[in-house]
Structure 1
Amino acid sequence: MGNIFSISLDPIITRCWDCATGQASYICNLEDNLHDLQAEVAGLEELRSDLMSRVRIAEDEQQLQRLNQVEGWLSRAETLINDADQLIVQSPPHVENLCMGGCCSTHPRSSIKFGKQIAKKLKQVKDQKENGDFSDVASKPPLPSATERPSEPTVGLESNFDKVWSCLQKEQVGIIGIYGLGGVGKTTLLNQINNKFHDTTHDYRVIWAVASQDRPIEKVQDQIAKRIGLSNEGWESKSLDEKAEDIFQVLCKKKFALLLDDIWERFDLTRAGVPLPPKENGSKVIFTTRRFDVCCQMQPNMDNNIRVECLPPGEAFRLFEEKVGSETLRMHPDICKLAEAVVEECAGLPLALITIGRAMASKKTPREWEYAIEVLRQSAASVLPGVGKEMYPKLKFSYDCLAEKPKSCFLYCSLYPEDYPIGKDELVDCWIGEGLLDEHTNLSNVRNQGHFVIGSLIDACLLEEGKNKVRVKMHDVIRDMALWIAGESDKEKFCVKSGVQLKELPEAKKWEEVTRMSLMWNQIENLTEVLECPNLQTLFLGRNRLRVIINDFFNFMPMLRVLDLSYNMLEELPVGIAKLVSLEHLNLSWTGIKKLPVELKALAKLKYLNLEWTEHLEMIPQQLISSFSELQVQKMEGCRYGCLLVLEEMEHLKYLNVLTLTFRSASELEKASRFNKFFSCAIESVQLIGFRDSRSLNIMALAKLQHLYSLSLLFCLELEEVKIERNIIEGAGYFHSLRHVYLFGSRYLRDVSWVTFAPHLEVLWIFECIGLEEIISEGKLGEVAELKGNSNLFSKLEILMLENLPKLKTIYHHALSFPQLKEITIVKCGMLKKLPLNSNSAKGQRLVIEGDKGWWKDVEWEDESTQIAFLPSFKPVL
């Protein structure tokens, strides 16, 4: 009985004990607390939803960043709501356990524990609601040090990136210029620099800005202001100077890196409010431009101006394959080989490779690719999608920035074939003949203007300078763009079929509209058709196989001003050439012409006549040359017809400014020197060929030439010495204008010490002089006191080329400074062991030394520092 009684009383006693200890309230209030919790949670959800709406408006519309306390409150509220929902879901069994009107439970321990959880969660929810009153939910975000920019994977920019990044690490470097052809990848490179800042730890504030051609300073100011937190409602109303002051006040206290993309002229950093780097804290400005002259204006240090070159063949093909798709290239065995030809036409320009690669992505047959190659060699704009609408307009911005005359001069360059090295002087003379340059009081000034225009086109990356600086070249894609521009023009109508293997005249729909025609570098042998070209001004027929031109060929070209027949097999000119009454420029060089027709007297406006290397020219009618009363340029180097026979006539030509001549003997040179007019003013270039009548040359006569620019000694087989005489120095004997000297085939000549009298010499080429032992003889200089210790020796020399000089031991006995030297080429000069260099020679110049690998290994250096300085300069001759 006792046991039964004790068992039945235990639950009651336990419940009573719990109630007595104050835990019963959790059971008694469970239902009410559950109800209250559901209501409070609903209220919290409403409050959270309203707050989230305010946050989204602030973030999305006002570009603000939510406050940390708001973010924390929202996070805690979400957790509370989820926890409360779980408790509410778990509540039905606990409510069912309640008994005695809700004051007791059949499972009191479980009910008390659950009741505690409900009560605690209810208090937390109420507290959370009370803390959810925020006057502000967001504020301006802190500015990141760099903002990542979208950028596609790149090909071939790695070395350029390394150069720029290496420059950035140098404390003394504040401004870095990146320049190159349009579409070559300058902006892509700047993107990479920006994203490198984004991905690495640093203390720069990186600012990206694009310079507009319209109001560039104001546009850049606005981009800087936005990046450094100055852009607000009052910003737009401020003047340029006020904005500059605000920007300066912020940036002068920061370490910044300004990445300035696509500037077209010198950008005035100070006027924009940008403190000039380098500051003490190491701020930087990196900019891109298509113009080299802009780089120099922004900062003159050449090492900090980095040119982005076109891609080499391998990398060019890799980029093209990426855009065209490897699947397309595998569609047929021939397509890959044809693709190489397409890539070659793009000449390494990334913009062209990308644009044409995308255009060819759908072309799956060899015939389509063969047609595309043909189109690219002519004009791709009308056939390949994206070329005329996307690629050329992007490139054309460089052209649009030119003045009117340079624009015409630029388009003129497209008359030459692809990859053709265009002589600068030849080009300028054609521009003069066409009337593309300004009228000047003398020919020298107008030629200087022509070279200035060439420099401007090189600076704009629209022309590329040749290796020895006397020639320029047009990038294939830039040439195509020029032809596209000319084709779109109402004024310029070009017919350009140069270098396309024509064997006869091309067909044209409207010959009467053509203003310039180039058929050079073809295989045309005969011109037997009459062309009616009333507006034609330039006709290039050079480098064909011309033998015959019918008399009537020139009958209907009354406006023709420039005619080039050079490098042809012509033996005679048609008498019909007399019809060219407007002709100013006639080039007959390197032809087989045997005589000039007397009918040429009709060319009353002729200003330029080139007879160079007409080795069969035996007859020029008397009084023909003197009849060209307007003649300014007469070129006769290498002409068989003796110059003495025409010098007398030339004395009556009052406008003649430029004369080039060949002398074949010392006696001929002596007689010619009596024509004082030409020996004092007009002679620009002289060749001495043969000179078999003398072993010694007195250079005194040539020293009188005021404008002698180029001097060549060719095959003077018996010549042993060129005398240096004291009276050269005592008189006005220095070769002040001489820039280029060429020596070839003088087998007994032992030195060329006389070149020390050419203080402005830029190019010295010596070939096949097998007896030459030294360039400058110290003994001979010692004989002339004024030259002893000459510190300016070769101070202007840029190019030195020495080839096949087996006895050459010395260039000069002491090290020289060579402040302008850019290139030395030494081939087959086995006895030359030492160069006149020390560690200070060519300082600051990017000197290239080309030669045989074996010779380079045996070079003896003045000291270790000299060797270290010049080892990176070597380039083996292929």
Structure 2
Amino acid sequence: MHDLLREMALKIIHPQFMVKAGMALEELLEEDEWRDDLLKVSLMNNNIREIPSSMSSPKCPMLTTLLLSNNNITTIPDAFFNHMRGLKILDLSNNYKLDRLPRSVSKLENLTTLLLENCKFLKEVPSLSNLRGLRKLNLYGTSIEELPQGLFMLTNLKYLWLGGSLSDIPDGLLRNLSKLQCLGVDGTIPLKGEEIGRLRKLESLDGRLSTLDDMSLFVKSERKFLNQYTIFVGSYSPRDYSLENETISNVVKSIVCCHIDICEVPNWLPSDAQGFYIKDCKDVRSLDDISGFQEATDLRHCTVDGCDGLEFVVSSRCLKPLQNLESLYLYNLKKLNAVVGVVEAIAKSAPLPAGTFSFLQKIEVVGCEKIKKLLPLRLLWYLQNLQTIKVRHCVQMEEIIWSEYEGEKALEKLTLPKLERVILQYLPALKSIYSCSTIVLICDSLKRIEIRGCQEIESVFWRGFNPLPTLEHLDLCYLMNLKSVFDEEILGLSARPTNLFSLKKIFVKWCPKLKKVFSSGWLLGYFQSLETIAVDSCAQMEEVISSSTYEEKEALEKITLPKLQRLELSRLPELKSIC
């Protein structure tokens, strides 16, 4: 609803409400607008810069709610709240330049909610000792260096967020705030597991524990009451938090371990954890080395980054915790040679446990310099929910999907029914996505393939792997040995299309050995949905569409591309014709 209409509607509904939110106001209300019968005032999302020091305190004894968030307020006169003794909710959050609160805040004895989140320059908060009814206090994103006086006395607090430049939390403070239901503490401030464990009414926790011993103490306490938690263990940096936030921020219960040995302490991983992120933990060889990992059967998202000792994610004997896993991110793992240590089980034709990776939707592998092959064919039978495969900067990666029992089961089909995207970037040793000719791989939902910087790859498609019926976007770039894109022999196509493909866009750039995009003119009969063809910087490109024989020329005369909108050809020195 338009702001003006909303304001009018609220006045009609309740004349004691004043709402002027999002109206680009630069000044506070005039003194005569602060009526003594006002109950609620909202001036949020404006551009109010200051409250004049000459302004007397508004006489609003009935005012219960004052919302001033998302303005540019720099100062508030000390006496501003003197005549607002009935105020219960005060929201000053996101006033970045506000550096101090007025002393009159200390007189708001009926206040239940005080929100100061992201007041980045705020360093001074007056005593809160008189605010005995305060239930919600948010100081996250401020610059306070000391806790406000009287915080120990706020025994009715249920919600507390602390941040700023605090170095620690005084002993006994949290124990005194026994009614806390939600506790959030900036990662720079360490918490003690024993004190957290004593907060029996706690339902939500965001914070950092310094050591695994603290984490173990917390896990041993009765923590089943927690509905949500994000717990850092170890050292902390803003970069660590941003990575965690990017990958598992939507997880309800997550553990983040950074720069710490995680295999030494027993029983520290909560069994109900849904997100698990470990960064720069050098002692871990596989996740099943971690005490408690076997019991963490509710894991949904897992990220492993910079753990130099990791050789595989899990062994074949420890797949149970991954049965509910939805996403797996593997970054900068120098010794990683397999996603799952199941090679020995496959070689013996031993079946994997039922449900292995059955909920996995996304796998991303980046900067793992030792791994050569990503997904064994035997594992693919279980990946029925896989949607995205993304692999980047793995210098020895040769094959994405591989089979060690070639020829064992002729003409058998394997389906990845939900796979939508395959992104492969800067894999200099990559030779194929999938090359098992005896088992047909069906990906009937695949919409996008992007291959960049893979110098050894010669062909995009192979016998046994033809996702063209559903593919919509094909992006090929910096493929120095690419010789074939659409080849009728490899794809097993005939001159009479029996079905049409969905491809809409094809981009080909810096493929110096590629001489043609379509090996035969009649192939275009399959591509009636094409909207864009772009070819750039292919030094040996002679024809976009081959039409060397009389039959091909005749076929081209009968073919139309009804949806083609863009044809871009640039820096093709050997190009003789389009078709």
Q: TM-score, normalised by structure 2?
A: 0.52
Aligned counterparts, 1:783-794, within 5 A: 789-794=352-357
Residue type of the alignment partner of 1:868: L
Residue type of the alignment partner of 1:790: P
Alpha-carbon distance, 1:669 to partner: 0.5
- 1:674 equivalent in alignment to 2:238: no
Alpha-carbon distance, 1:796 to partner: 2.8
Which residue matches 1:504?
A: 50
Aligned counterparts, 1:455-854, within 5 A: 493=40, 495-498=42-45, 500=46, 502-504=48-50, 513=63, 515=65, 517-520=67-70, 522-529=71-78, 530-531=80-81, 534-537=86-89, 539=91, 541-542=93-94, 544-553=96-105, 555-556=107-108, 558-561=110-113, 563-566=115-118, 568-571=120-123, 573-575=125-127, 577-611=128-162, 614=163, 616-636=165-185, 638-641=187-190, 643-644=191-192, 647-664=193-210, 668-675=211-218, 676-677=220-221, 682=226, 684-690=229-235, 697=263, 701-703=267-269, 705-716=270-281, 718-725=282-289, 733-753=294-314, 756=319, 757-767=321-331, 769-771=332-334, 773-774=336-337, 776-779=339-342, 782=345, 789-805=352-368, 807=370, 809-814=372-377, 815=380, 817-823=382-388, 825-829=390-394, 832=397, 834-835=399-400, 840-843=415-418, 847-848=420-421, 853-854=450-451
Contact 1:744/1:766 (<8 A) preserved: yes
Contact 1:632/1:656 (<8 A) preserved: yes
Q: SS in structure 1 opposite 2:468?
A: helix
Alpha-carbon distance, 1:565 to partner: 1.8
Alpha-carbon distance, 1:550 to partner: 3.1
1:872 maps to which of 469, 472, 477: 472
Deviations 1:385-434 (A, max 9, x none): xxx99xxxxxxxxxxxxxxxxxxxxxxxx99999xxxxxxxxxxxxxxxx
Deviations 1:54-79 (A, max 9, x none): xxxxxxxxxxxxxxxxxxxxxxxxxx
Contact 1:687/1:712 (<8 A) preserved: no
Shift in alpha-carbon separation, 1:764–1:553, aligned structure 2, 3 A: farther
Residue type of the alignment partner of 1:841: L
Alpha-carbon distance, 1:570 to partner: 3.5
Alpha-carbon distance, 1:802 to partner: 4.4
Which residue matches 2:486?
A: none
Alpha-carbon distance, 1:774 to partner: 4.9
Alpha-carbon distance, 1:850 to partner: 5.6
Shift in alpha-carbon separation, 1:686–1:692, aligned structure 2, 3 A: closer
Q: SS in structure 1 opposite 2:471?
A: helix
Shift in alpha-carbon separation, 1:712–1:382, aligned structure 2, 3 A: closer
Q: SS in structure 2 opposite 1:620?
A: coil
Separation of aligned partners in 2, 1:559 and 1:514: 8
Alpha-carbon distance, 1:872 to partner: 3.1
Residue type of the alignment partner of 1:633: C
Deviations 1:412-469 (A, max 9, x none): xx99999xxxxxxxxxxxxxxxxxxxxxxxxxxxxxxxxxxxxxxxxxxxxxxxxxxx
Alpha-carbon distance, 1:849 to partner: 5.0
Deviations 1:237-287 (A, max 9, x none): xxxxxxxxxxxxxxxxxxxxxxxxxxxxxxxxxxxxxxxxxxxxxxxxxxx
Shift in alpha-carbon separation, 1:549–1:780, aligned structure 2, 3 A: farther
Contact 1:709/1:737 (<8 A) preserved: yes
Question: How much identity, in percent, do the aligned residues show?
Answer: 17
Separation of aligned partners in 2, 1:568 and 1:842: 49
Deviations 1:171-212 (A, max 9, x none): xxxxxxxxxxxxxxxxxxxxxxxxxxxxxxxxxxxxxxxxxx
Which residue matches 1:9?
A: none
Alpha-carbon distance, 1:541 to partner: 0.4
Shift in alpha-carbon separation, 1:766–1:663, aligned structure 2, 3 A: farther
Shift in alpha-carbon separation, 1:670–1:528, aligned structure 2, 3 A: same
Contact 2:135/2:158 (<8 A) preserved: yes
Alpha-carbon distance, 1:770 to partner: 4.9
Shift in alpha-carbon separation, 1:546–1:806, aligned structure 2, 3 A: farther
Shift in alpha-carbon separation, 1:725–1:830, aligned structure 2, 3 A: closer
Segments of 5+ residues of structure 2 without an aligned counterpart are 10-18, 24-36, 236-256, 403-412, 426-449, 478-579
Deviations 1:595-643 (A, max 9, x none): 32351123222122234xx4742232332111112112223462333x2
Contact 2:381/2:414 (<8 A) preserved: no
Separation of aligned partners in 2, 1:875 and 1:551: 62
Aligned counterparts, 1:47-196, within 5 A: none
Separation of aligned partners in 2, 1:797 and 1:828: 22
Residue type of the alignment partner of 2:105: F
Shift in alpha-carbon separation, 1:551–1:869, aligned structure 2, 3 A: farther
Residue type of the alignment partner of 1:670: D
Aligned counterparts, 1:272-351, within 5 A: none
Contact 1:660/1:686 (<8 A) preserved: yes
Separation of aligned partners in 1, 2:121 and 2:338: 40
Shift in alpha-carbon separation, 1:615–1:519, aligned structure 2, 3 A: closer
Q: SS in structure 2 opposite 1:662?
A: strand
Segments of 5+ residues of structure 1 without an aligned counterpart are 1-351, 353-375, 390-413, 419-489
Alpha-carbon distance, 1:673 to partner: 1.1
Q: SS in structure 2 opposite 1:609?
A: strand
Q: SS in structure 2 opposite 1:649?
A: helix
Shift in alpha-carbon separation, 1:620–1:686, aligned structure 2, 3 A: closer
Contact 1:810/1:835 (<8 A) preserved: yes
Q: SS in structure 2 opposite 1:707?
A: coil
* Bigger Rg, structure 1 or 2: 1
Residue type of the alignment partner of 1:759: Q
Which residue matches 1:855?
A: 452
Residue type of the alignment partner of 2:300: R
Contact 1:689/1:715 (<8 A) preserved: no
Residue type of the alignment partner of 1:777: V
Alpha-carbon distance, 1:685 to partner: 2.8
Shift in alpha-carbon separation, 1:742–1:650, aligned structure 2, 3 A: same
Contact 1:743/1:765 (<8 A) preserved: yes
Residue type of the alignment partner of 2:42: C
Alpha-carbon distance, 1:753 to partner: 2.6
Q: TM-score, normalised by structure 1?
A: 0.36
Alpha-carbon distance, 1:695 to partner: 5.8
Separation of aligned partners in 2, 1:862 and 1:602: 72
Separation of aligned partners in 2, 1:615 and 1:748: 35
Separation of aligned partners in 1, 2:284 and 2:299: 22
Instruction: Give the total of aligned pairs.
Output: 382
Q: Which structure is higher in helix share?
A: 1
Shift in alpha-carbon separation, 1:688–1:623, aligned structure 2, 3 A: closer
Deviation larger for 670-679 or 687-696: 687-696
Residue type of the alignment partner of 2:302: V
Contact 2:234/2:260 (<8 A) preserved: no
Alpha-carbon distance, 1:503 to partner: 3.5
